[in-house]
Structure 1
Amino acid sequence: MTNSRRRKGLTVASALLGGVLVLSACSSGGDDASAGDGGKDTSQAKVDEAAAEKTSEAQIKITPKDGSDNASINNSAAVTVSKGTLTDVSMTTADGTAVDGEISADKTSWKPSVQLERSTTYKLAAEAKDADGRVAHENASFTTVSPTNSFIGTFTPDDGTTVGVGMPVSINFDKAITNKAAVQKGITVSSTSGQEVVCHWFNANRMDCRPDDYWQENSTVTLKLALDGVEGADGVYGVQQKTVTFKTGRNQVTYVDAKTKQMKVTQDGKTVKTIPISAGSPDNKTYEGQMVISEKFKETRMNGATVGFTDDDGKGEYDIKDVPHAMRLTTSGTFVHGNYWGADSIFGSVNTSHGCVGLNDTKGANDPDTEGAWFYNNSIVGDVVVVQNTGDKTVAPDNGLNGWNMSWADWKAGSAV
């Protein structure tokens, strides 16, 4: 055989042998390799199966979702888990300050134990285990609603207080409300007396709520603010979620008669005391109408310049730095207060004030036996003072807490729902 033939023979043999080796390599799986997988390599499938066996079944959910903005300061930052239990949850602000929170007794949920701040970015990291002890992790970051994009309502009276039967619920919003119906639907006022309560909008920033007549004495009134997430104006959302309760005391209504210059104090319809007074002078008449005591001061300063009473030099016509036993009736500056600078003879005989109702009193507000002290000590915020026969106009319903000077029909007409 020639060398060329020998080389050809070796080449053919090598090719055949190589083919056998290749076939041997592909068939190394034996019978399993031909069981319907078309010759597919099963090594990756086994890796995937092994990884699946190591993955935790615990499913962690964080709300709001990662990247949210304008998030609620009340209902955000909730963590829940299914098919497992929470083992650790941490919440921090962007600067690393920790936020207190608590995992539930059954270890399936977590929430912060403090109210969140507005315009703040928070980060949440949660860890859970499934029944086999396999660990799962979840992280999220969100930003709460900013002051620019949110509104709050400042309300009166305060939670837990006892007030007079004339006290309305008055809410002043820090942003103009254009979606009045939506906001009003998020506010409910009810009383154990069962009286119907209607809310009235004086303007875009103020809403008061009251019954047809004064509250019944010794009842409990509940204000519920469910404003979280309510859109009060375009792009402006509520953040409050709060329940407030207050009680009404005895039914005290005081009648001031500028003509007789006497003040009659009644409780539950019975006169308990008559006090001589000095009301507004003929040039500075006192408003007429039903007024509600909104503030009390044992002593306060009264400067005429703050309410428009100035002399030719622009100074206040009066500036008394220690007016005793003062109780506010209007925002514009009408008070019932003690008077120590007037002669005793004016009370019950002549009207001399710049529009307030004055009672005989002493300087320093320390004499409990004066008429001014008696009325102050026996009055509470929310008591009604009805001023009559002054010759002046009726006080505006929104000048103070004086919506009682509006008819029930007109009051209901100011409701947005």
Structure 2
Amino acid sequence: MKHVLKRAGLGIAAAAAWTGLVAGAAGCTADGGLGDLGGLGGLGGGKGRSAEDTIRVTPEDGAERVAPDGRVEVRVPSGRLERVTVTRIEDERPTRVPGTLSDDGLRWRPAPGTRLALAAKYRVDAVALDGHGRRSARRTTFTTLVPEHRFIAYFAPENRATVGTGMIVSLRFNRPVRDRAAVERAVRVTADPPVEVAGHWFGTERLDFRPERYWNPGTRVTVDLRLRDVEAAPGVYGIQQKTVGFTVGRSQVSLVDAEAHTMEVRRDGVLLATLPITAGAPKTTTYNGKMVVSELYDVTRMNGATVGFKDAKGKGEYDIKDVPHAMRLTTSGTFLHGNYWAPRSTFGSANVSHGCVGLRDVKGGSPESPAGWFFDRTLVGDVVEVVNSRDRKVAPDNGLGGWNMGWKEWKAGSALR
């Protein structure tokens, strides 16, 4: 089975969801609600069932403007819930929402009297067991109501994360920013050891920060958001006053040669391995350029209908419910992922995908496969560069693609120049 995908767009998520940044890419896409949790081997409560069927979450994934006393519930139609956590994320101190499971294990609800915070993002992680002892896992997010005439920033990476050297600090605002200089001046990104860091605006709702070159391993980066009472547009004021940070881990840069069908993985400049790959087919090529891993899924679902690959009846030309070892490279749907459906001889010899980079894997995913080996050695923020593909260079706002801009051009995108 060929792994197919058309060009599409997805916006940057504050920890994981990216919206409004349609960039027209060829690649693959994942259903963000189907990420496997805790190393579980698979999703879905039975043959042909997805995690959405097995684990039902209210509010729905990606919901916005949820009231502080709105309904929050996780339930399963059968079997039982094994674990549920609801956590306020993207805050200096991630906080769990207290709650309890029903006696029959079919439902989780917050403790009586619990109120959610305003202008906050929450993540729901749930694991369930069906009657045959099979586990399903689901992760969703939602955001709560932002008071009228207020703006906030959703940011990546997550607070206290350890990331690769290619990580770019990315802020997405819930309202258009007219006074970009005032907002950029209120965001301070510093590094230890010190290095110059500059901002670059993509439109009126996204502001990214990066140094001239990849971060040095071991660098500690601090992001000070001093947006409270900053006027982003007439009558629209900020409410955030927080400090978050992350640590840069080791350097890992992987070079995909689409013509040679190989990927060279280098750790701190030393070649670890050369892996056989398959890239985009001649009519659906893979982007060239530097891309940064922004999400990791042990297993996820990829459906062509979500990115425009539909048959005559409007259904997806493919729907793979258990793609293993998936690593997002662009918001428009380019992934580097495990592939168990192509013949073994494909890898290293032919390009058959519709934009993604495929590594050999087995159904269910194996740590012993090339895809499993690479996945286990990958951090969010690692760089994957594609060369010798018959496609254009990836756009700098398609995922964390800002490394495809020169330093002078990057700094020219600052409102403080």
Q: Place the TM-score, normalised by the shorter chain, in its bin.
A: 0.5 to 0.7
Q: Which amino acid aligns with 1:332?
A: S
Offset from partner CA, 1:159-198 (integer Å, 9 cap, x none): 1110001111000000000010000110000111321100
Match of 2:129 in 1: none
Alpha carbons of structure 1 residues 153 and 346: separation in structure 2 relative to 1, 3 Å: same
Rounded to whole Å, the distance in 1 between the matches of 2:291 and 2:151 is 29
Q: Which moved more, 1:187-196 or 1:221-230?
A: 187-196
Q: Secondary structure at the match of 1:203?
A: coil
Q: Secondary structure at the match of 2:148?
A: helix
Match of 2:244 in 1: 244
Taking every aligned residue pair, what percent have the same amino acid on both sides?
A: 55
Rounded to whole Å, the distance in 2 between the matches of 1:326 and 1:117 is 33
In the alignment, is residue 313 of structure 1 matched against residue 306 of structure 2?
Answer: no
- Map 1:86-235 to 2 at 5 A: 147-235=147-235
Match of 2:402 in 1: 403
After TM superposition, give the deviation of residue 311 of structure 1 in Å: 2.1
- Map 1:7-156 to 2 at 5 A: 147-156=147-156
After TM superposition, give the deviation of residue 117 of structure 1 in Å: 5.2
Match of 2:392 in 1: 393
Provide structure 1 residue ranges, at least 5 long, that are not aligned to the other structure.
Answer: 1-114, 119-144
Match of 2:362 in 1: 362
Q: Which amino acid aligns with 1:357?
A: V
Match of 1:298 in 2: 298
**TM-score of the pair, normalised by structure 2:** 0.65
Alpha carbons of structure 1 residues 312 and 117: separation in structure 2 relative to 1, 3 Å: closer
Match of 2:275 in 1: 275
Q: Which amino acid aligns with 2:266?
A: T
Q: Which amino acid aligns with 2:403?
A: W
Q: Secondary structure at the match of 1:204?
A: coil
After TM superposition, give the deviation of residue 116 of structure 1 in Å: 8.2
Match of 1:106 in 2: none
Alpha carbons of structure 1 residues 339 and 195: separation in structure 2 relative to 1, 3 Å: same
After TM superposition, give the deviation of residue 314 of structure 1 in Å: 2.0
Tell whether the 8 Å contact from 2:118 to 2:147 is kept in structure 1 after alignment.
Answer: no
Q: Which amino acid aligns with 1:317?
A: E
Q: Which amino acid aligns with 2:190?
A: S
Match of 2:98 in 1: none
Rounded to whole Å, the distance in 1 between the matches of 2:342 and 2:375 is 19
After TM superposition, give the deviation of residue 146 of structure 1 in Å: 6.6
Q: Which has the higher contact order (CA 8 A, sep 6+)?
A: 2
Rounded to whole Å, the distance in 2 between the matches of 1:117 and 1:314 is 39
Q: Which amino acid aligns with 1:360?
A: R
Rounded to whole Å, the distance in 1 between the matches of 2:283 and 2:118 is 52
Q: Which amino acid aligns with 2:322?
A: D
Offset from partner CA, 1:188-216 (integer Å, 9 cap, x none): 00111321100000010000000011111
Q: Secondary structure at the match of 1:392?
A: coil
Tell whether the 8 Å contact from 2:224 to 2:243 is kept in structure 1 after alignment.
Answer: yes
Rounded to whole Å, the distance in 2 between the matches of 1:199 and 1:148 is 27
Rounded to whole Å, the distance in 1 between the matches of 2:317 and 2:185 is 47
Rounded to whole Å, the distance in 2 between the matches of 1:117 and 1:315 is 39
Q: Which amino acid aligns with 1:333?
A: G
Q: Which amino acid aligns with 2:188?
A: T
Alpha carbons of structure 1 residues 116 and 254: separation in structure 2 relative to 1, 3 Å: closer
After TM superposition, give the deviation of residue 264 of structure 1 in Å: 0.3
Q: Secondary structure at the match of 1:148?
A: coil
After TM superposition, give the deviation of residue 268 of structure 1 in Å: 1.1
Match of 2:65 in 1: none
Q: Secondary structure at the match of 1:277?
A: strand
Q: Secondary structure at the match of 1:276?
A: strand
Alpha carbons of structure 1 residues 244 and 146: separation in structure 2 relative to 1, 3 Å: closer
Rounded to whole Å, the distance in 2 between the matches of 1:323 and 1:165 is 27
How many residue pairs get aligned? The number is 277
Q: Which amino acid aligns with 1:394?
A: K
Q: Secondary structure at the match of 2:265?
A: strand
Match of 1:104 in 2: none
Q: Which amino acid aligns with 2:248?
A: T
Alpha carbons of structure 1 residues 279 and 180: separation in structure 2 relative to 1, 3 Å: same
Rounded to whole Å, the distance in 2 between the matches of 1:216 and 1:379 is 17
Rounded to whole Å, the distance in 2 between the matches of 1:386 and 1:345 is 24
Rounded to whole Å, the distance in 2 between the matches of 1:231 and 1:167 is 28
Tell whether the 8 Å contact from 2:118 to 2:146 is kept in structure 1 after alignment.
Answer: no
Q: Which amino acid aligns with 2:330?
A: T
Q: Which amino acid aligns with 1:379?
A: T
Q: Secondary structure at the match of 2:278?
A: coil
Alpha carbons of structure 1 residues 116 and 408: separation in structure 2 relative to 1, 3 Å: same
Rounded to whole Å, the distance in 1 between the matches of 2:289 and 2:193 is 25
Larger Rg: 1
Rounded to whole Å, the distance in 1 between the matches of 2:146 and 2:284 is 47
Rounded to whole Å, the distance in 2 between the matches of 1:116 and 1:382 is 29
Q: Secondary structure at the match of 1:218?
A: coil
In the alignment, is residue 327 of structure 1 matched against residue 347 of structure 2?
Answer: no
Q: Secondary structure at the match of 2:223?
A: strand
Offset from partner CA, 1:61-102 (integer Å, 9 cap, x none): xxxxxxxxxxxxxxxxxxxxxxxxxxxxxxxxxxxxxxxxxx
After TM superposition, give the deviation of residue 312 of structure 1 in Å: 2.4
Instruction: Point out the structure with the larger helix share.
Output: 1
Match of 1:413 in 2: 412
Rounded to whole Å, the distance in 2 between the matches of 1:247 and 1:325 is 24
Match of 2:13 in 1: none
Rounded to whole Å, the distance in 2 between the matches of 1:212 and 1:200 is 12
